[in-house]
Amino acid sequence: MKAKTVFIIGVTALLTLFLVFNSDPVPFDFIVVKEVYISKLIVIGVCILIGFILGFIAAKPKRTVSSYDNEIELKNSTTNSKDNLSDEDREYIS
């Protein structure tokens, strides 16, 4: 296995153990509702899930405009690169 896979499995196992050991109910204050008792397991699990989603969105590579790349490749394929060379350069390459 690759090191990245082993690392992901290890972190997932540690998070699972952390959630299992913190399952007792705790008071949780919402903005609208006053003190509600919710399991730590749910609170921590939701926070981890939200953090994972935000990290995935933040790490997503941005798209780049590649319209110029196609034009450059088209120009290079239609022109022969030896046409612009001097006689000395052609002899050196050959």
Reported as a single tens digit per residue, the pLDDT across 33-88 is 788 888 888 888 888 899 999 988 888 777 665 566 666 666 665 555 556 777 88
Q: Give dist(CA 94, CA 5) in Å, integer.
A: 50
Contact between 83 and 93 (Cβ < 8 Å): no
Q: Give dist(CA 21, CA 71) in Å, integer.
A: 59
Q: Give dist(CA 58, CA 53) in Å, integer.
A: 9
Predicted local distance difference test score (pLDDT) of residue 83: 65
Predicted local distance difference test score (pLDDT) of residue 77: 58
Helix, strand, coil percentages for the chain (3-state, nearest 5): 65, 10, 25
Structural domain containing residue 89:
3-93
Number of domains observed in the structure of the chain: 1
Tens of pLDDT, residues 2-21: 899 999 999 999 988 887 88
For residue 1, pLDDT over 80 is answered with: no
